[in-house]
């Protein structure tokens, strides 16, 4: 219950901050209308400004917007001429596909690396993985995408140069080729971070009391890893994963831009650049809602994986 | 006995420090040593591949790419440095306050930190960076390159102080509960003296390490915003907007794609290596 209230409060603050900031974008709709229609008279301008409440103080305008927003009227895109909400819905599918791809890539990259890290800490393979992780974390995310495009699409020609594929022309498996690079790029840096976070735990695990006790009882190192070491690690990582979701969305902003992937994050970027104010607000609130939901879920997940944390997070 | 900082660093940290010093020095001294202008257009140099007298080639308008790279580093590094300094200062101040005063100050700051960390800040940053300085009541100066640097640095500072605040708060509480702090208090030390002479020395290593990491992160964030076209705008070069331009000439001049990215990578890697190894020599953080 309190979590729900907090979520609503955060969302409201985000909408207020967003509304205020969107008002600061270098754009004046009436001035633009005047440019398109030079025969507009001063009286028309005044009428338009009054119609859209442009001269009211900001809190009043926010009130008007909030009322519209609450009744489900999220405004229209002035670029596409469509309702912002339906525009959002169109792009959502692509972002979901990208996230599913990134998730698959993350599992494929992280799973084996994590097992190697846990079973053979400070082996050559593990150190190589750690160095690569550090390197990936220090690469500018958009540059990683650009270089991936240059090497794998331009030089080697393995993958297409961005986009999601033409709907009619390419079938399912062929369209998958469009997903590979963006999904890998979106996942790579996060996987690196997870590995780095787990590294000290993997190093110290062989020296812990429970590990020594387990080994002396005759359990194998591998059995102990899979049955005793993984679950607490997942508990530690689940907070990271939840806090990663906003960064994943931020990463999507970059990945979708570099790879020309028409998803929600790219829609936000495009609408900020074209001052499409209603769409900016719709995207911002949608991404905010996802982020806040993820945080709430993370609180719950930590308690599930690690009973010790249960008392602390039920506030 | 104190071991000198350099000697106490593991090899990784030494590599990091050298990388960082090398990139900073190149950008500080480079534009003086390399006489080509970063702004002069020469028609023959458009899309020119690297060659003798033109180590990195020419860009889409026929400017010397090396000169632009070095000058761009000045903008990028200054913005990141200023931004991470602001974030660290704010985090340090608010962290000390929350950890020392506790009570409502602690709870209030904590609530703000929680809230900010739960919002999609990159998206908000994009909108803030794209905002019109004039509508914020700021003068024309904020459109000039130094003004844009300051604007971006303020934004980076605002986006990054929360982590430092949490670390400093925890460290302040830990130090304040130690026996020598209680002893100083019992001996009649005032709050100011305690904060300055007892708490701050305990918090300092944490802050230094956090700052090092922040610098690397701020550098990447600045370049990302400039790449997206809402950071420092051309013709002033930054590593981010150089890459934005390079992307448009992907096929005609792929050589423009490499150097700015490598410089960003070197500086960020340097900061990261230095940060993680000084974390282990300085203990907790």
| CB-based contact B122 A269, cutoff 8 Å | no
How many residue contacts between A and B have a Cβ separation below 8 Å?
Answer: 139
pLDDT digits (tens, 9 = 90+) for A92-107: 888 888 888 888 898 8
Query: Nearest chain A Cα to B251, which residue?
Result: A154
Rounded CA-CA distance B263/B69 in Å is 9
Residue A305 has pLDDT above 70, yes or no: no
* DSSP symbol at A86: H
Least confident of A152-156, A245-249, B80-84, B122-126: A245-249
Rounded CA-CA distance B28/A221 in Å is 53
Rounded mean pLDDT of B267-271?
91
Q: How confident is the model at residue B88 (pLDDT cuts 50, 70, 90)?
A: very high
Of A140, A149, A295, the CB nearest to B264: A140
Residue B44 has pLDDT above 50, yes or no: yes
The listed range with the strongest mean pLDDT (A175-189, A284-298, B78-92) is B78-92
Rounded CA-CA distance B67/B64 in Å is 6
Rounded CA-CA distance B25/B23 in Å is 5
Residue B283 has pLDDT above 60, yes or no: no
Rounded CA-CA distance A194/A156 in Å is 30
Percent with pLDDT over 70 in chain B? 96
Nearest to A229 by CA among A102, A118, A116: A118
What ipTM was assigned to the predicted interfaces of this complex? 0.83
Rounded mean pLDDT of A213-236?
81
Of A21, A134, A154, the CB nearest to B127: A21
Rounded to 5, what percent of chain A is helix, strand, coil?
80, 0, 20
Residue A249 has pLDDT above 90, yes or no: no
Give the per-residue pLDDT at B85: 94
pLDDT digits (tens, 9 = 90+) for A171-211: 666 677 788 888 888 888 888 888 888 888 887 877 888 88
- If you write DSSP's letter for every residue of A245-268 in order, what string do you get? HHHHHHHHHHHHHHTT--SHHHHH
Which residues 163-182 in chain B show a CB within 8 A of chain A?
A: none
Taking the model in full, what pTM does it have?
0.85
Rounded mean pLDDT of B176-189?
82
Nearest to B244 by CA among A246, A309, A269: A269
Rounded CA-CA distance B275/A135 in Å is 14
- If you write DSSP's letter for every residue of B198-259 in order, what string do you get? IIHHHHHHHHHHHHHHHHHHHHHHHHHHHHTTSSSPTTS--HHHHHHHHHHTTTT-GGGGHH
The mean pLDDT value of chain B amounts to 83
First vs last C-alpha separation in chain A = 10
Rounded CA-CA distance A139/A148 in Å is 12
Kindly state the tokens that stand for B69.
């790279």
CA within 13 Å, CB half, A21: 21
Query: Nearest chain A Cα to B221, which residue?
Result: A140
Rounded CA-CA distance A13/A31 in Å is 29
Please say whether the beta carbons of B201 and B184 come within 8 A: no
Residue B78 has pLDDT above 80, yes or no: yes
Kindly state the tokens that stand for B182.
């209680």
Please say whether the beta carbons of B63 and B24 come within 8 A: no
């Amino acid at each position: 219950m309190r979590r729900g209230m907090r979520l609503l409060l955060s969302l409201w603050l985000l909408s207020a901050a967003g509304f205020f900031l969107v008002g600061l974008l270098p754009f004046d709709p009436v001035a633009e209308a005047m440019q398109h229609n030079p025969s507009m008279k001063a009286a028309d301008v005044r009428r338009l400004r009054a119609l859209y409440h442009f001269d009211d103080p900001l809190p009043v305008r926010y009130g008007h917007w909030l009322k519209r927003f609450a009744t489900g009227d999220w405004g229209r895109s002035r670029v596409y001429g469509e309702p912002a909400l339906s525009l959002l819905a169109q792009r959502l599918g692509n972002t979901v596909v990208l996230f599913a791809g990134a998730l698959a890539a993350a599992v494929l990259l992280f799973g084996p690396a994590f097992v190697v890290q846990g079973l053979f800490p400070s082996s050559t393979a593990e150190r190589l993985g750690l160095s690569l992780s550090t390197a990936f974390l220090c690469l500018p995310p958009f540059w990683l995408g650009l270089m991936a495009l240059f090497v794998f699409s331009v030089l080697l020609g393995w993958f297409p140069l961005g986009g999601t594929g033409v709907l009619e022309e390419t079938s399912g498996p062929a369209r998958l080729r469009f997903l590979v690079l963006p999904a890998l790029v979106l996942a790579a840096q996060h996987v690196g971070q997870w590995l780095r976070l787990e590294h000290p735990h993997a190093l110290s695990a062989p020296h812990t009391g429970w590990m020594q006790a387990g080994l002396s009882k005759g359990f194998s190192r591998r059995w102990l890893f899979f049955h005793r070491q993984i679950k607490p690690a997942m508990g530690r990582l689940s907070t990271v994963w939840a806090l990663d979701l906003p960064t994943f969305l931020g990463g999507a902003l970059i990945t979708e831009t570099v790879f020309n992937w028409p998803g929600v994050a790219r829609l936000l970027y495009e609408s900020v650049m074209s001052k499409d104010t209603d769409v900016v607000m719709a995207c911002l609130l949608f991404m905010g809602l996802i982020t806040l939901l993820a945080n709430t879920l993370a609180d719950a997940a930590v308690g599930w994986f690690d009973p010790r944390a249960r008392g602390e997070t039920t506030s | 006995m104190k071991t000198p900082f350099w000697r106490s660093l593991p090899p990784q940290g030494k590599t990091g420090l050298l990388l960082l010093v090398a990139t900073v020095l190149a950008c500080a001294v480079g534009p003086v040593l390399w006489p080509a202008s970063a702004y002069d257009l020469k028609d023959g140099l458009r899309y020119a591949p690297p060659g003798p007298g033109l180590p990195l080639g020419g860009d889409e308008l026929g400017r010397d790419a090396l000169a632009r790279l070095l000058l761009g580093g000045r903008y990028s590094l200054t913005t990141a440095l200023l931004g991470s300094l602001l974030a660290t200062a704010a985090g340090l101040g608010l962290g000390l306050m929350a950890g020392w005063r506790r009570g409502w100050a602690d709870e209030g700051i904590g609530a703000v930190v929680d809230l900010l960390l739960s919002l999609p800040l990159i998206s908000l940053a994009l909108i803030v960076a794209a905002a019109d300085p004039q509508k914020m009541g700021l003068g024309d100066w904020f459109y000039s390159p130094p003004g844009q640097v300051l604007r971006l640095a303020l934004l980076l500072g605002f986006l990054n102080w929360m982590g430092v605040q949490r670390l400093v708060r925890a460290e302040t509480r830990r130090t304040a509960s130690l026996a020598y702090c209680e002893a100083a208090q019992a001996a009649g030390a005032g709050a100011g003296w305690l904060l300055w002479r007892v708490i701050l020395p305990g918090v300092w290593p944490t802050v230094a390490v956090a700052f090092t990491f922040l610098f690397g992160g701020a550098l990447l964030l600045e370049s990302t915003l400039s790449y997206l076209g809402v950071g420092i705008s051309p013709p002033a070069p930054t590593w981010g907007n150089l890459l934005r331009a390079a992307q448009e000439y992907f096929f005609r001049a792929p050589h423009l794609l490499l150097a700015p990215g490598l410089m960003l990578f070197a500086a960020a890697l340097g900061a990261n290596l230095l940060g993680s190894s000084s974390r282990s020599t300085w203990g907790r953080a």
